[in-house]
A and B are shown apart, each in its own frame.
Chain A
Amino acid sequence: MATQTIEFKEPAARLPAPAHPEGEDLREMQGEKMVLNIGPSHPSTHGVLRVLIELDGETITKAVPDVGYLHRGDEKIAENMTYTQFIPYTDRLDYLAPLANNVAYALAVEKLLGIDRNLPPRCQYIRVICCEMARISAHLLGLGAFAMDVGAMTVFLHTFTEREKIYNLCESLTGARFTTSYTRIGGLSRDLPPGWIDQLRKFLSEVIVNLNETETLLTRNRIFVDRTRDVGIISRALAIDYALSGPNLRASGIEYDVRKANPYLCYRDLEFDVAVGSVGDCYDRYLVRMEEMRQSVRILHQCIQKLPGGPDNRVGEPVNVADGKTVLPPKQKVMTHMEELIHQFMLVTQGVNAPAGEIYFGAENPKGELGFYINSRGGGTPHRLKIRAPSFVNLGILPAILPGHMMSDMVAILGSIDFVMGECDR
């Protein structure tokens, strides 16, 4: 990956000169600063982020993000239920990509159980399909909302047309459009429904058309480029210092993708490129997301081709691990066989019997690295479950990059960082 150095105007140069400490008059000449409260209910804070900004004219001199308006105590809730019961709560983390959250959580628990490396191949492929669909869905919304924040309303509705199709796919796959809860510990709640792969294929051919349209509307649009280029620059060092992850990190020129760096599921067998930006401004973040969606389409095409068992699974490839102590046995057997009945009873009442120990698993989610840290003392419930929410970590950089920008830039920066408060506040 060739990196290029681009000279750009330092945003801080637009800052007013600091007042001389001795000159009280000078400070008066500079005038009073205005503190403006943005949010928690503001059209461009995408949920309930609150930012307190200090303005000198229209230039931001200080920014303090204030999170927690959507705090539900998910981590504490997890301590009081079995591992399986927590799956629906993961839908509500990054609610733009619930399928990817389901997969990441299931993989974390499976890592604790020591079965994450020997999942059935069909299960792995279906999970990758879920993750990449979720990525397209989340990025479509991220881009649409970003464009709407800088004024291009039409893009938002164009991307929503495609998201609608993804929701339809989710509906026929999981039964729910939004709160999917599709994965189970050690597998999936069900196999692909018949004809689903054809629907997916149709969607993939349509989404590319839509992406091209969006690109015509934005990528070379002079106003959009003016609004985003050299705005909200995150340098490589800054990105690392603030532990950014996901597209925001890659836009700063760091080629780090958990799917490549630490492959999970069947990502090792799939070909895709990691999109990397050069400058780390809002425009780069836009371009990286755009390219990631194209790469996701590429991955999905490969998955369709390589899916073990084919679309209809006539050969009966398993989608769950063959272990009655982890995955609920088939209902028919529960009703007729003693052993399966006991397994069913134990799983439902006690949960999976996890070993004592602690693990961390991070997955490449649309917003960044979604990590689950599980501290287990054995038994069916975690002793402590910590969620590393990428949106929360990514938002931490706001005080570092907002000062020196104008108020309109703040909107562009917030849009380009693409956060979800459900995940940030969890």
Chain B
Amino acid sequence: MFESIQYWDPAAQFVLFSALKILVVFGVTMGFVSLAVVAERRVSAWIQDRVGPNRVGIPFTNIRFLGLGQMLADGLKFLLKEDFTPNYVRTVYFWLAPAITMIPAFLTLAVIPFGSTLGNSSNRMVIADLNVGILYTFGIVSLGVYGIVLAGYAANSKYPFLGGIRSSAQMISYEIAMGLSVIPIFLLVGSLNLGDVVGYQSGGLHTWLVWKQPLAFFIFLIAAFAETNRLPFDMPESETELVGGYHTEYSSMKFALFFLGEYANMIASCSMMVTLFFGGWTPPWGASAATTLWAGLGHVAWFLAKMIAMMLLFIWVRWMLPRFRYDQLMDLGWRRFIPMALFNILVTAFVVALWQR
């Protein structure tokens, strides 16, 4: 039955495979998001000398599965909470904002090559194999700030308003640093396609770009913390100052969308970092595109493993550091990272011009 697909016309094949990939990627990402929430709670518990959620398993039995049932319980809780809309909010934007926050995070994942092939070389494991992959990513990521700004505006209340202002300033300034930090990568690789970036690093551990561009990685990592609004850069939220910031007035599923958006953003940033600096789906001993189904799945597994490692770094940092002050954050972004990134571009350009041409 499946063999007959090969004889379909290419457009139909493309539609079928793209739809399949989108479904799988979306499903896996959502799964990872809820897993990340539980992981965050468990890891923070280990850091803080606590136990963390380890109880919830299958109801009415003693099976606990390490507390992984918490994923479902969290989701159910969000669904069952009262969806409260205060009567002073700007209703349309109030409903729009959570969706706008969540969607860009998922759109970013479209250009990330999460595997080589599944045996058939015409079918690469990336939803949209764009030639301008990174430009697309930055374009989409910038959209994410609208959701937060809109949430701050729509709530029509002072705390979310301050949160919205902070986040717009923060995300715009760190986007610049982030964008500048990856330019050296593309100077080295010579292409904006993320598949080519992975291809450049497919020679094994020593070819990974993190060794050639440690400064770029450093800036990108910190900017990613800022972009995902996580500690030490969670100024827009800062629950001890702004009591939750832009999502103060949200409850139930609308709040959950912000929550999911944050974690989906984290997954997107981690995938991006793995692709740009840690060889994407290639194992540390290097590899070329897979020729069998199992090798292809192995590559996907490598990608996921690296991504999970990055996620753990994100979680670890969150529970270890205090929060910056707003002006210190802007200072760091504009006066340290942007000049550093520019300097990095210059040096790389010189090196490329002198040695590689």
Interface residues of A (CB under 8 A from B): 34, 36, 42-44, 58, 147-154, 157-158, 161, 217-218, 221, 223-224, 226-227, 406-411
Say whether B321 faces chain A, with CB atoms less than 8 Å apart.
yes
Which one of A151, A158, A224 contacts B240 once the chains associate, using CB atoms below 8 Å?
A151
- B323 pairs with A150, CB closer than 8 A: yes
- A406 pairs with B325, CB closer than 8 A: yes
Chain A neighbourhood of B162, CB < 8 A:
36, 58, 407
**Given contacts A151-B232, A154-B319, A157-B49, are A407 and B324 in contact (CB under 8 A)?**
no
Chain B neighbourhood of A149, CB < 8 A:
240
Which one of A58, A154, A157, A406 contacts B320 once the chains associate, using CB atoms below 8 Å?
A154
Which one of B48, B238, B241 contacts A158 once the chains associate, using CB atoms below 8 Å?
B48
- A44 pairs with B241, CB closer than 8 A: yes
Chain A neighbourhood of B87, CB < 8 A:
none
Say whether B31 faces chain A, with CB atoms less than 8 Å apart.
no
User: Bound complex: CA of A95 vs CA of B324, how far in Å?
Assistant: 31
User: Bound complex: CA of A36 vs CA of B243, how far in Å?
Assistant: 13
- B322 pairs with A406, CB closer than 8 A: no
**Given contacts A34-B158, A223-B324, A227-B322, are A43 and B48 in contact (CB under 8 A)?**
no
The residues in B between 274 and 329 inclusive whose CB is less than 8 angstroms from any CB of A are: 319-328
Q: Is the interface of B mostly helix, strand, loop or mixed?
A: loop
Given contacts A34-B158, A218-B322, 10 further A-B contacts (CB under 8 A): A58-B327, A150-B240, A150-B323, A161-B49, A223-B321, A223-B324, A226-B328, A227-B325, A406-B325, A410-B241
User: Bound complex: CA of A161 vs CA of B50, how far in Å?
Assistant: 9
Q: Is the interface of A mostly helix, strand, loop or mixed?
A: helix
User: Bound complex: CA of A241 vs CA of B320, how far in Å?
Assistant: 38
The residues in B between 2 and 60 inclusive whose CB is less than 8 angstroms from any CB of A are: 44, 47-50
Chain A neighbourhood of B235, CB < 8 A:
408
- A226 pairs with B241, CB closer than 8 A: no
Interchain Cβ contacts under 8 Å between A and B, 26 examples: A36-B158, A36-B162, A43-B243, A58-B326, A150-B240, A150-B322, A151-B231, A151-B238, A151-B321, A154-B48, A154-B319, A158-B48, A158-B49, A223-B322, A224-B322, A227-B322, A227-B323, A227-B324, A227-B325, A227-B328, A406-B326, A407-B162, A407-B241, A408-B241, A408-B325, A411-B241
Which one of A58, A152, A158, A411 contacts B321 once the chains associate, using CB atoms below 8 Å?
A152
> How many B residues touch A, CB cutoff 8 Å?
27
Say whether B234 faces chain A, with CB atoms less than 8 Å apart.
yes
Interface residues of B (CB under 8 A from A): 44, 47-50, 158-159, 162, 231-232, 234-235, 238-241, 243, 319-328
User: Bound complex: CA of A407 vs CA of B242, how far in Å?
Assistant: 9
Most buried by B among A58, A153, A217, A406: A153
- B322 pairs with A221, CB closer than 8 A: yes
Chain A neighbourhood of B238, CB < 8 A:
151, 408
Which one of B48, B323, B324, B325 contacts A157 once the chains associate, using CB atoms below 8 Å?
B48
Chain B neighbourhood of A150, CB < 8 A:
240, 322-323
- A226 pairs with B325, CB closer than 8 A: yes
User: Across the two chains, which residue of chain A brings its CB closest to B320?
Assistant: A154
User: Across the two chains, which residue of chain A brings its CB closest to B161?
Assistant: A34
Which one of B49, B50, B243, B324 contacts A42 once the chains associate, using CB atoms below 8 Å?
B243
Chain A neighbourhood of B48, CB < 8 A:
153-154, 157-158
What 9 A-B pairs come out closest when comparing CB atoms? A151-B323, A157-B48, A151-B322, A152-B322, A150-B322, A44-B240, A408-B325, A149-B240, A224-B322
A51–chain B nearest beta-carbon distance, Å:
12
User: Across the two chains, which residue of chain B brings its CB closest to A41?
Assistant: B243
